Amino acid sequence: MTGRLEGKVALITGAASGLGRVGAERFAAEGAKLVIADMSDGDEVVAAIEDAGGEATYVRTDVTDPDSIKAAIEHAVETFGGLHVLYNNAGVMLGDDDDPVSTSIETYERTMDINVKGVLLGCKYAIPAMLAGGGGSIVNVASFVAHMGAATPQIAYTASKGAVLAMTREIAVIYARQGIRANALCPGPIMTPLLAKFLSDDSKRNRRLVHIPMGRFGEPIEIANGALFLASDESSWMTGQSLIIDGGITSAYVTPE
């Protein structure tokens, strides 16, 4: 059976660990050739993908640095002959991100730099490569908080994800007739190390769980499957949209007991 991403080259930022790594391994299992773009060492992910019969390469990438992102895209084209999928997954949720009064300007600027500028730079350099190859799919990671306020204050993170959602729509409209699709992936709370560090006690954990109608946190593979759909031709008539995978959070007016 042909994989859902057979013949496609995909670059995933922040793919050395967490959601990015799960996505990379899922994409590779469906036939994609993977570029692991991360500040952290991605050789372990490459080895895992190759051991499973896939193809992958790692390039050290700082998503806030235009030259670094440009070099990563060029690496993808030089190594695999093109670029068909950009999965802008890299992002941060800083520990001192709180309400507008107490959140430092430094935290706000750092969050926006990685979460928004990083997405913009990925698109800036990936789009020409995609156009040269006849088109492609851009998957930008936003969040369910781009659609509603967060239960726990995180003003910089929420603002950054709202910006990603708006940017995605704009990009989708600009390139809709040139073979490039752009969609936002909006996860709810997923049980990753990034979230776990904020759930240091039962009260913090329960404060989030009470807002999830399904009564549990999401699993990384559930987000990877959503990203796979957006990256593949199965979503070929979908662009400028927000795919929310949140256990029902954004659908709930009254929180179930």
Are 212 and 247 spatial neighbours (Cβ–Cβ below 8 Å)?
A: yes
| Given the residues 58, 125, 157, 175, the one annotated as active site | 157
Are 189 and 212 spatial neighbours (Cβ–Cβ below 8 Å)?
A: yes
* C-alpha to C-alpha distance for 125 and 131, rounded to whole angstroms: 11
Quote the tokens at residue 231: 């990256």
Quote the tokens at residue 32: 């994609």
Pairing, β 180-187 against β 242-245: parallel
- Count other C-beta atoms under 10 Å from residue 124's C-beta: 14
Contacts of 141 (CB under 8 A, 6+ apart): 19, 87, 88, 89, 91, 164, 184, 185, 187
End-to-end CA distance of the chain: 44
CA torsion through residues 28, 31, 36, 37, sign? negative
Is residue 175 annotated as a catalytic residue, yes or no? Answer: no
- Count other C-beta atoms under 10 Å from residue 193's C-beta: 8
Phi, psi of 250 (to 5 degrees): -75, -5
- Picking from 88, 68, 69, 216, the residue whose alpha carbon sits closest to that of residue 143 is 88
* C-alpha to C-alpha distance for 191 and 177, rounded to whole angstroms: 38
Coil vs helix vs strand at 182: strand
Q: Which residues are catalytic?
A: 157
